[in-house]
Amino acid sequence: MTGGASVPRAARVGEREGHVEAHADGRWEEWIRAAEDPGGVADKPEALDDLMVLDLSHGHYGALLTATYLAELGAEVIKVEPPEGDPARGWGPAGASAGGDGLAFVAEARNRYHLTLDLSKREGRRLLKGLAARADVLIEGFAPGHLDGLGLGYRRLSALNPRLVYVACSAYGQFGPLAKHQPPEHDLTDQALSGLLHLTGDPEAAPVKVGSWISAYGQAAWGALGTLAALHWRERSGRGQMIDVSGAEALMRYLEYSVLLYHASGAIRGRTGLYELAVFPYTFVPVKDGWAFVAGYTDPNFRALCRVMGRPELGDDPRFNSTIQRTTMENEIALREEISRWSVNYTSAEILERVLADPGPGVIVFGPMNAPTATLAEPHWWERGCLRRLSDPVYGELLLQMPAWRMTRTPPRLKWPCRPAGYHNGLILQKYFGMGPSQAAGLAADGIL
């Protein structure tokens, strides 16, 4: 599939059985490979291709991504931007852009119909309401209450369309003592509020953030999960609802036992650098050609690691012979030194070969710390269609990460990458309002589009 401006297929409920079926009695690996064949994706239906989603993200990555996930799974997503374009179009690293837009935006604004509407004008709001009256889902990341003030919040839109699922993204949420007058949402401040920042880095140094805008990815996962749960319930009840998703809470839910440990013992989980409170070894060690991750923390797995290191006696060492012993800080430091003294003599490929050749019992988890370009050099991701290069007629040569899920019946997919603001104005106005080119031109002249 290239990135041409293809038109999504119509809903195909009840389509013929089109499963790619390998030999039903073949080996699992062969069967599942055929059933998930990335080359066969376009022949299969889409899980969400009966949904219409309005993406009102405006300088908000988590809201943008929520719509992206739904678009990958088949929804028709209409991205509504102000006439000058979403400010997020400017987001990207210095010194690189695609089609004049920032790389952060181009990487994720995919599979959409791009419509411009000036919501500060009455006619713009009228058109938005016309779309919302028929939408299944609306996603926004404005300051809480902003759209409500424009008469476009859930209060008003749910009266027009009781089946609407309305997703609002923000840092502190739509309710609670700190919801009023909240500052704009950013990934770094979300990582701080979530507590993840407090856990990452060395104990003596300042906390360190995750390098990508991970809170937005988490927020979008929760936004999409909430949306799909709400749509399932709508099948039974006929009613939509509002979903409030905080990017900070999105990551906080990923913090395992932190708050329970505090409740149970009063201990405050802190930064442990390359060490670990709960499991060890589970760390990075130096190898001949860089760094690698190694883990073997249950007893059988640790013994397997000792065997591969040629140090079986370490498995019986009283400092290391139980999970409790291996997770005292002093013993973790000693054990990491033992592993490093061994690992630094080999390349990560040499160690991986030994790990995979070990007959068991026990399982060692090992792999290199890849620079992104090293990941790109591994065939695995390309064979699986996890990454793809495409030559797009509008944005040129692009290398993009593909949808995260594999599904045998309704695989998600990339249809086309980003498009300029307002690229699909004609199509959307014609499709939803019956307006032809001259009416669209009139709206544009009035500054509505």
Partner 1 sequence: MTIPKDYFDWAARLFDPARIHEKPEALAGIRVLDLSVIYFGPATGDFLGEMGAEVIKVEMPGQGDVTRILGNASFFWKNVSVAFFCANHSKYHVGIDMHRPEGQELIRQLAARSDIVIENYKAGTLEEKFGLGYRQLREVNPRLIYVANTGFGQWGPFSKGRASYDGLAQAVSGLTAITGEGEVPTKIGNYLGDWFGASMSAVGALAALRWRDRTGEGQFVEMAQCEGLVRAMDWTWLYAGLTGRDRQKVGNGDHVFAPSGVYRCTDGYVAVVAGTDREFRGLCRMLGEPALARQERFATAAARRERPSVAALDAKLAAWCRARSRKQVEAAARKVGVAAASVMTARDHAESQHLRARRSVWEYEDPVYGTMVEYGPAPKLSATPPRIKWAGKPVGFHNELVLKRILGLDDARIKELEAAGAIGRWAEGRRGAGPPEGWKGEGRLV
As a residue count, the chain comes to 449
Distance of closest approach, residue 422 Cβ to partner 1, in angstroms: 22
Using the rule CB under 8 A, which residue among 180, 312, 431, 447 binds partner 1? Answer: 180
Cα gap 420→112, rounded to integer Å: 10
CA-nearest of 316, 191, 284, 203 to 246 is 191
Q: Does 309 engage in binding with partner 1 (CB under 8 A)? A: no
Using the rule CB under 8 A, which residue among 9, 126, 134, 253 binds partner 1? Answer: 253
Cis status, amide bond into 361, omega within 30 of 0: yes
CA-nearest of 414, 288, 307 to 363 is 307
Using the rule CB under 8 A, which residue among 42, 133, 160, 399 binds partner 1? Answer: 399
What ranges make up the beta strands (E) of 15-164?
A: 52-56, 76-81, 112-116, 137-140
Six token digits for residue 322? 């139980």
Using the rule CB under 8 A, which residue among 67, 127, 137, 231 binds partner 1? Answer: 231
Q: Which of residues 209-228 bind partner 1 (CB under 8 A)?
A: 209-214, 216-218, 221-226, 228
Residue pair 345/351 in contact (Cβ under 8 Å)? The answer is no
Per-residue 3-state assignment (H helix, E strand, C coil) for 319-331: CCCCHHHHCCHHH
- 203 or 437, CB closer to partner 1? 203
Which x/- pattern, by CB under 8 A, does the window 49-68 give for partner 1? Answer: -x--------x-x-------
Find the part of the chain contacting partner 1 (CB under 8 A) among 78-86, 110-118, 311-319, 399-407. 399-407
- 22 or 427, CB closer to partner 1? 22
Q: Does 203 engage in binding with partner 1 (CB under 8 A)? A: no
- 98 or 428, CB closer to partner 1? 98
The count of residues interacting with partner 1 (CB under 8 A) is 186
Q: What is the DSSP pairing of strand 76-81 with strand 112-116?
A: parallel
- 195 or 426, CB closer to partner 1? 195
Six token digits for residue 2? 């290239």
Find the part of the chain contacting partner 1 (CB under 8 A) among 277-285, 312-320, 425-433, 435-443. 277-285
- Tokens 């419509």 — which residue? 115
Backbone angles phi, psi at 216, to 5 degrees: -70, -40
Which x/- pattern, by CB under 8 A, does the window 92-131 give for partner 1? Answer: xxx-x-x---xxx-xxx-----------------------
Which x/- pattern, by CB under 8 A, does the window 368-397 give for partner 1? Answer: xxxxxxxxx-xxxx-xx-xx-x-------x
Distance of closest approach, residue 109 Cβ to partner 1, in angstroms: 11
- Secondary structure of residue 168 in the 3-state scheme: strand
Q: Does 345 engage in binding with partner 1 (CB under 8 A)? A: no
Q: Does 161 engage in binding with partner 1 (CB under 8 A)? A: no
Q: Does 324 engage in binding with partner 1 (CB under 8 A)? A: yes
Cα gap 198→192, rounded to integer Å: 7
Q: What is the DSSP pairing of strand 165-170 with strand 137-140?
A: parallel
Per-residue 3-state assignment (H helix, E strand, C coil) for 424-443: CHHHHHHHHHCCCHHHHHHH
Q: Does 248 engage in binding with partner 1 (CB under 8 A)? A: yes
CA-nearest of 115, 174, 121 to 150 is 121
- 92 or 315, CB closer to partner 1? 92
Distance of closest approach, residue 285 Cβ to partner 1, in angstroms: 10
Using the rule CB under 8 A, which residue among 57, 258, 343, 425 binds partner 1? Answer: 258
